[in-house]
């Protein structure tokens, strides 16, 4: 007798062999959607917690590999100890090419420029410059000049940020196109709805602003209602229309149909050996 369901084995040659919910047909539907929009988009698989999304996307990932797609699987919940998901994104991208490091290094170099220019450099510079009380006193007498300098610096940093982001997206798109066999890279992000709210929202923002390039399909495995709660938490208001907010990031939403309940119950009954409780 067992008290916990173990992870299913996913055979490489037949990933849905051990699937008891008959979900291979849904993997084929989603693969056809990708084939119809190969230029890239964001797909959300939206089902409640505990409905087997993680098992499904792992089986589907192997199915895609068998169809010669390059894939990346990222468990966002396991990585939200990081302050910035950008680092995890770049680290995972190295998986699709372990031989030619020069191409990947070019992406890393452009990513480093973003990390440098997107940070609050102006605020840090301001604090470093005016933290001394004597200098702060001098600044009060020349406020307009000081803030003019800060404003000019801010404008310059803005231009650098735009240029860095543009260069990064171009190098990323070229890298993926060269390494993904003429097919889009499938980037699966799981457990996003279990992350710290600020991490989850930042991850969505970064997909939109930095990684929305041709040749990448993002698959978000989520419970949309729970992710909506995270959005409301970050913005500090229950009045936020989280559905409308998430629509900015999600192009296609797919709900995996519920399995045949009788077959599923029979499977669980056998798996957990409930015959053990019968009066003998």
Encode pLDDT of 8-19 as tens digits: 899 999 999 999
Distance CA 3, CA 11 (A): 24
Tokens of 266: 């029979």
Dihedrals φ, ψ of 195, to 5°?
-75, 165
Q: Say if residues 32 and 25 touch (Cβ distance below 8 Å).
A: no
pLDDT of residue 109: 81
Element (H, E) at 71: strand 71-75
Q: Strand 252-254 vs strand 185-190: parallel, antiparallel, or unpaired?
A: unpaired
Distance CA 49, CA 216 (A): 26
Q: What is the pLDDT of residues 192-212, one digit of tens each?
A: 999 999 999 999 999 998 898
Distance CA 185, CA 206 (A): 17
Q: Tell me if residue 18 falls in helix, strand or coil.
A: coil
Q: Where are the domains of the chain?
A: 24-97+182-277
Q: Say if residues 215 and 170 touch (Cβ distance below 8 Å).
A: no
pLDDT along the chain (280 residues), means of 10: 75 94 95 90 94 94 95 91 83 73 78 62 41 47 54 65 84 84 91 92 91 92 94 88 92 91 78 66
The listed CATH number (2.60.120.10, 3.40.190.10, 3.40.50.300, 3.30.70.270) that belongs to domain 24-97+182-277: 3.40.50.300
CB-count burial class (<10 Å; 0-12, 13-18, 19+) for 145: exposed
Angle between helices 224-235 and 197-210 (to 10 degrees): 100
Task: Report which of 169, 171, 236, 176 is spatially closest to residue 201, judged by C-alpha positions.
Answer: 236
Q: Strand 42-46 vs strand 71-75: parallel, antiparallel, or unpaired?
A: unpaired
Tokens of 40: 């890239």
Tokens of 214: 């041709």
Averaged confidence pLDDT in the chain: 81
pLDDT of residue 75: 93
pLDDT of residue 224: 94
């Amino acid at each position: 007798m067992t008290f916990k369901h173990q992870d299913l084995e996913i055979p490489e040659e037949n990933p849905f062999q051990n699937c008891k919910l008959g979900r291979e047909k849904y993997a084929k539907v989603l693969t056809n959607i990708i084939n119809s929009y190969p230029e890239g988009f964001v797909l959300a698989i939206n089902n409640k917690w505990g409905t087997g999304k993680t098992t499904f996307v792992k089986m589907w990932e192997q199915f895609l590999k068998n169809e010669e797609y390059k894939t990346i699987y990222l468990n966002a919940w396991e990585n939200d100890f990081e302050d910035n998901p950008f680092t995890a994104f770049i680290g995972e991208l190295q998986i699709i090419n372990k031989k030619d490091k020069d191409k990947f290094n070019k992406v890393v170099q452009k990513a480093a420029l973003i990390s440098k220019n997107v940070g609050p450099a102006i605020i840090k510079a301001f604090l470093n410059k005016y933290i001394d009380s004597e200098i702060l006193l001098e600044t009060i007498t020349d406020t307009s000049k000081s803030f003019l300098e800060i404003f000019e610096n801010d404008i310059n940093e803005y231009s650098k940020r735009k240029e860095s982001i543009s260069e990064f997206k171009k190098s990323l798109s070229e890298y993926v196109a060269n390494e993904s066999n003429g097919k889009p890279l499938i980037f699966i992000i799981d457990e996003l709805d279990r992350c710290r709210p600020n991490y989850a929202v930042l991850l969505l923002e970064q997909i939109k602003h930095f990684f929305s390039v041709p040749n990448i399909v993002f698959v978000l495995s989520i419970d949309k209602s729970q992710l909506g709660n995270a959005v409301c938490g970050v913005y500090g208001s229950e009045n936020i229309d989280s559905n409308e907010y998430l629509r900015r990031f999600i192009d296609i939403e797919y709900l995996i149909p519920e399995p045949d309940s009788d077959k599923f119950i029979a499977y669980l009954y056998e798996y957990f050996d409930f015959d053990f409780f019968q009066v003998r």
